[in-house]
């Protein structure tokens, strides 16, 4: 496995700063504790394959930090992590942007329960879990989201269709995916492709889409 530039908490904080995220001491501590929590709790539930702190920081959490390369953060308030799994993506954003309202959508009961435990464990008041299958329709009429995030959710076409149904007019959809997955370029309606940026993981990129 290629060594990434984020082997530990201090290096993670340096990388976050290089991406434009100025983390407070409390946020740095919370991110480190979250990474250890995910390393200990997510693999036994088959929600993640990353079972140590450096791997979680590098492979599960750090990719979220490329967002400033793609969007203007001040335009975002309501965020959804579609198919949240272990919650690494959405929970990270909730910690480093405490003013955002973050929703984690997850269809698997064990994952949704784990997410609820995690939210309580870290006292994250700006996060909630929606235990539902977005592929068959949501169970509540939530207002559109400013930012829809997804990673490793269904096929490219289906994932973007689901994300598009959740994004409001003027909103953003950001998908983390393998660079060689041509299904993400160009996307299918109702989204149009805007841009792609690399992440710290070789071969993993983040692509931005906007509603048509």
Q: What pLDDT was estimated at residue 153?
A: 76
In a domain, residue 4? The reply is: no
In a domain, residue 23? The reply is: yes
10 Å Cβ neighbour count for 99?
9
**Is 208 in contact with 194 (CB distance < 8 Å)?**
yes
pLDDT tens per residue across all 212 residues of the chain: 344 667 788 889 889 998 999 999 999 999 999 999 999 999 999 999 999 999 999 999 999 999 999 999 999 999 999 999 999 999 999 999 999 999 999 999 999 999 999 999 999 999 999 999 766 555 455 678 999 999 977 688 888 988 998 998 889 999 999 999 988 887 666 789 999 999 999 999 999 999 98
Which residue is listed with tokens 């792609």?
Answer: 196
Q: What pLDDT was estimated at residue 139?
A: 40
Tell me the C-alpha distance between 98 and 14, whole Å. 20
Q: What pLDDT was estimated at residue 150?
A: 95
Q: What pLDDT was estimated at residue 66?
A: 95
DSSP symbol at 121: H
Identify any residues that bridge with 192 across adjacent strands, giving them in sequence order.
210
Q: What pLDDT was estimated at residue 134?
A: 67
Which residue is listed with tokens 């994952």?
Answer: 111
Question: Residue 81 belongs to what H/E stretch?
Answer: strand 78-82
pTM of this structure: 0.92
Q: Cis peptide leading into 53, omega within 30 of 0?
A: no
In a domain, residue 162? The reply is: yes
Q: What pLDDT was estimated at residue 187?
A: 63
Residue 196 belongs to domain with CATH number: 3.40.50.150
Tell me the C-alpha distance between 69 and 121, whole Å. 31
In a domain, residue 47? The reply is: yes
DSSP symbol at 146: E
In terms of Cα–Cα distance, which of 48, 61, 81, 72 is closest to 16? 61
Q: What pLDDT was estimated at residue 2?
A: 43
In a domain, residue 101? The reply is: yes
Classify the C-alpha dihedral 150-156-162-167 as positive or negative. positive
Residue-number span of the structural domain to which 14 is assigned: 9-211
DSSP symbol at 57: I
Number of domain units in the chain:
1
């Amino acid at each position: 496995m290629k060594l990434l530039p984020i082997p530990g908490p201090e290096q993670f904080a340096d990388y976050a700063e290089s991406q434009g995220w100025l983390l407070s001491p409390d946020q740095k501590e919370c991110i480190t504790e979250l990474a250890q929590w995910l390393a200990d709790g997510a693999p036994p539930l088959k929600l993640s394959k990353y079972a140590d702190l450096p791997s979680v920081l590098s492979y599960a959490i750090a990719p979220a930090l490329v967002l400033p390369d793609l969007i203007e953060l001040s335009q975002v308030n309501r965020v959804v992590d579609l198919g949240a799994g272990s919650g690494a993506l959405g929970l990270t954003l909730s910690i480093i942007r405490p003013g955002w309202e973050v929703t984690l959508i997850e269809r698997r009961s064990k994952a949704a329960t784990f997410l609820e435990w995690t939210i309580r464990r870290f006292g994250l008041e700006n996060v909630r879990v929606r235990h539902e299958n977005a592929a068959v329709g949501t169970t509540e009429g939530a207002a559109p989201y400013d930012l829809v995030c997804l990673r490793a959710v269904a096929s490219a076409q289906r994932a973007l269709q689901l994300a598009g149904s959740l994004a409001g007019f003027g909103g953003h959809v950001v998908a983390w995916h393998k660079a060689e997955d041509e299904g993400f370029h160009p996307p299918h309606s109702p989204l149009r492709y805007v841009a792609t940026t690399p992440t710290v993981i070789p071969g993993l990129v983040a692509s931005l889409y906007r509603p048509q």
